[in-house]
Structure 1
Amino acid sequence: MSDQAPQTAVCWNEIPVSDMDKAVEFYNAVFKWTLTIDTSGPNPMAWLAGDMNTGGGHLYPGKPASGGNGPTVHIVVPDKVEEAAERCTAAGGTVLSDAIEIPPGRFIYAIDPDGNSLGLFEPNRAA
C-alpha cells in the first residue's frame, strides 16, 4: 500500500474552439462560471471554472473534431444535470441523451456549439 493520495488519471484537458468569445459565453452559461480570456501566454485561453488552479484545463483557439467525434470531456455541473442540459440547449449546444446513472453520479451527453463532445456530470452528493 502507498502513503500517497490517489492520483487522477487525467490531469489536464484542452478544448479547441473556433471563437473564444462565443465559447466563453457558452461555457459560462452552461456551468455558471465566470470565464475570461487570458492573453498572458503564447496563445489566448480561458481556464475551466475560471481558475487556472482547478487543474481541469482550458479552452483555446483551435479546430474541434467534427460532429462530436473527439474525446468526451465530462465536466461537473453546479446543480442537476437536467438543469444544465436546459442551459446547454438554450446556449446553442445539443443534448444527446437522457441522464445516465453510474456509481459516482449521473451524466448527460451533449455537444457544444463547436462540436466538442461533453459529459454534463452531476456527482453523488453526501446526504
Structure 2
Amino acid sequence: MNDTPKNATVWIEIPVTDMDKAMQFYEAVTGLALKRDDTGPNPMAIFQVEDPALGVAGHLYPGTPARNGEGPTIHLSVAGSVEEAMERVRAAGGAVVSPAIEIPPGRFAYCMDLDGNSIGVFEARG
C-alpha cells in the first residue's frame, strides 16, 4: 500500500493584518491577481492556479503573523525573473533578505512581506 500523496502541500494560509494592503503587496510582487472571497466566516484573498483540482494554492486571511520571519516560509511563483520580483518586493514595502539562489527546478530569493511573513519568490527554470 502506497499512501504517498501527489503533493506534500495541499493548501497554504498566510496571516495578514491588513487584507487590502496585503493583496496589493502580493499582487505587485507576484505579478498575478488574487481573488477576494468574502463568503466565508473570514475574508480571503485566493492565489489563483490554472486548475484548482490539480494545483496547490492558498490564500491570505486576517490573522496574527509570526514575528519577523520566524514562521514557515511560503515560496510563491512570480511573473518574470527573480531579480524583477525582488525589486517589486522592495517597491511594495517588503524586504529582500537573500540574493537569488539557484536550485535544480529554478531560482528563488528569501523575502519578508509587510507583516514580516517569510516568503520566497520563485522563478521556474525553462
TM superposition score normalised by structure 2: 0.90
What SS does the aligned partner of 1:87 have?
helix
Q: For residue 83 of structure 2, what is the aligned residue in structure 1?
A: 82
State the partner residue of 1:66.
67
Give the AA of the match of 2:63: G
Percent identical pairs in the alignment equals: 56
Q: Deviations over 1:39-94 (max 9, x none)?
A: 01111000013889253100000000001110000001111000000001000000
- Coordinate RMSD, CA, aligned: 2.2
- TM-score normalised by structure 1 residue count: 0.89
Tell me the distance in 1 between the aligned counterparts of 2:120 and 2:51.
21
- Closer/same/farther in 2, CA of residues 50 and 62 from structure 1, 3 Å limit: farther
1:1-127 to structure 2, matched below 5 A, reads: 7-49=6-48, 53=52, 54-125=55-126
Give the gaps of 5 or more residues in structure 1. Answer: none
Q: Secondary structure at the match of 1:66?
A: coil
**CA distance change for structure 1 residues 84 and 7 in 2, over 3 Å: closer, same or farther?**
same
Please state which structure has a larger fraction of its residues in strand: 2
Task: Give me the whole-angstrom Cα distance separating, in 2, the residues matched to 1:26 and 1:119.
Answer: 14
Rounded to whole Å, the distance in 2 between the matches of 1:50 and 1:10 is 14
Q: Does the 8 Å contact 2:9/2:56 carry over to 1? A: no
- Greater shift, 34-43 or 44-53, is seen at 44-53
Range with bigger deviation, 47-56 or 11-20: 47-56
Q: Is the 8 A contact 1:107 1:122 kept in 2?
A: yes
Deviations for 1:84-114, whole angstroms, at most 9, x for unmatched residues?
A: 0000100000000110011111100000011
**Runs of 4+ that moved beyond 2 A:** 49-55
SS in 2 for 1:14: strand
User: In 2, Cα distance between the equivalents of 1:56 and 1:50?
Assistant: 6
Look up the equivalent residue of 1:73 and give its one-letter code.
I
C-alpha deviation, 1:33, in angstroms: 1.8
